[in-house]
Amino acid sequence: MSRPSWQQRIQAARSERAAASRTRVRRSVGQRDGARCVVDGRNLLNFCGNDYLGLSQHFAVINALQDAAARDGAGGVASHLVCGHHTLHETLEKELADWIGAPAALLFGNGFLANLAVVQSLLDDESVCVQDRLNHASLIDAARLAGCRLRRYPHADAEGAIRQLRNVPSGLAMLATDGVFSMDGDIAPLRQLALVARVQRALLYVDDAHGVGVLGPDGRGSVAEARLGTGEVPLQLVTLGKALGSYGAAVVGDAELVGHLAETARPYIYTTALPPAQAAASLAAIRLARQEHWRREKLADLIGRFREHASRVGLALMDSQTPIQPVVAGSDQRALAMAQSLEQDGYWVAPIRPPTVPEGRARLRVTLSALHGVGDVDGLVVALQRARDRSERMHDSARPLTTP
């Protein structure tokens, strides 16, 4: 029997990615200082992280991490249901639930695990999970791994969602959406989706990884921004590693559903708990996020300034009022060229290419932080304009000559 070679398959796949300008390369960050970082030995202004409130380097967060590590050690020791559940975990869950305005919360190692836990624990092969076409990969993979029927509707289309639910009239149903879409930066139509879920008797689950900390009263996220609560959105995902600058995630919502996850979710039962020190850092970050409203106010001002100045020079923006501000490049090659031009000028902005985004929609994913200043944003717009013009000149020079 002859089997194909793994080496040949891997090499062929890599050659295909290289031909399409879709190879991925890890960059090594040697040092961070506010919004600046040293990348492969070069000092750059970072506009591609998710530290929206600028809390990852806050002295109170770092002190909480160090103090708890000195007292409780560096590791989580065991799973939560064996002996890994610490009083710091308990305190963090209660603080999260209180902040979001929900009865209960359950900690996970990260958002990918949390999404898998929710879908696997609540749905089976007779159930359906209806999702926005632009949902994060973790939600899509969660449905596939759960074995349920996965149906996807056009982006932000509540009517499309209800059509998909009507097409599968029997079995349990979940309607799952990002709150803020990570590559477009726009916000899901949560009030319309909540009505769809109620009419179709589906459980509405919102992955609010990029909304919590940034949107809503006291930074409670996109669900609170839409004036919805646990009655309409029984479960939502809160990540600790974006606006809160820490690491980990939590599912927040209805106490009975959260209790079910704690007893049945394989990604919760069969993995080591977050280190207590990490929970302490997240706890400190949440308290800052709740109290220091100026961070969100400054962020909103920077978003408005970036959009105004970028529109003035004709950059191709998307409809986003969040810290995620994509600048559309179109082709993969142009996105790469613009990113390289920005780096030459001292700015780090990641080029995002398919399959992360649709074909022909490659972009520079600019993300803003309370760590940035007005001068940083103004300088970035100038550098983006220059990068666009350079890429257009390169594109024109590469275009073959034609005769009439």
Q: What is the mean pLDDT of residues 283-312?
A: 97
Average pLDDT, the chain: 94
Q: Among 218, 216, 227, which residue's Cα sits nearest to residue 192?
A: 227
Confidence of residue 142 (pLDDT cuts 50, 70, 90): very high
Neighbouring C-beta atoms of residue 59, cutoff 10 Å? 8
- pLDDT at 268 > cutoff 50: yes
403 known member of a binding site: no
The values of phi and psi at residue 182, to 5°, are -70, -25
> Using the 8-state DSSP alphabet, how is residue 187 labeled?
B
Whole-angstrom distance, CA of residue 105 vs CA of residue 258 = 7
Whole-angstrom distance, CA of residue 387 vs CA of residue 394 = 11
- Give the per-residue pLDDT at 262: 98
Whole-angstrom distance, CA of residue 390 vs CA of residue 304 = 26
Percent of the chain as helix, strand, coil, to the nearest 5: 45, 20, 35
Q: What is the mean pLDDT of residues 247-259?
A: 98
Q: 94 vs 62, 91, 148, 244, 264, CA distance in Å? A: 21, 5, 32, 16, 21
Measured in whole angstroms, how far is the alpha carbon of residue 299 from the centre of its chain?
17
191 known member of a binding site: no
> Where exactly are the structural domains of the chain?
26-53+293-398, 60-291
Cβ contact 43:346 at 8 Å: yes
Cβ contact 225:100 at 8 Å: no
Strands 173-178 and 203-207: parallel
- Give the per-residue pLDDT at 399: 52
Query: Per residue in 45-78, pLDDT tens?
Result: 999 999 999 999 999 999 999 999 999 999 999 9
Confidence of residue 25 (pLDDT cuts 50, 70, 90): confident
- Give the per-residue pLDDT at 402: 42
pTM of this structure: 0.94
Query: Per residue in 179-198, pLDDT tens?
Result: 999 999 999 999 999 999 99
Cβ contact 158:166 at 8 Å: no
- Give the per-residue pLDDT at 400: 47
Q: Give the CA radius of gyration of the chain.
A: 22
23 known member of a binding site: no
> In the chain, what percentage of residues exceed pLDDT 90?
88
- pLDDT at 3 > cutoff 90: no
- Give the per-residue pLDDT at 395: 63
Q: Among 104, 122, 113, 75, which residue's Cα sits nearest to residue 272?
A: 75
272 known member of a binding site: no
80 known member of a binding site: no
Check whether the bond before 355 is cis (ω within 30° of 0): yes
- pLDDT at 367 > cutoff 60: yes
136 known member of a binding site: yes
Confidence of residue 403 (pLDDT cuts 50, 70, 90): very low
Range 60-291 classified under CATH 3.40.640.10:
yes
- What would the DSSP string read from start to end of 314-367? T--B-S--SSEEEEEEESHHHHHHHHHHHHHTTEE-EEE-TTSS-TT-EEEEEE
- Give the per-residue pLDDT at 168: 86
356 known member of a binding site: yes
47 known member of a binding site: no
Q: What CATH number has the domain spanning 26-53+293-398?
A: 3.90.1150.10
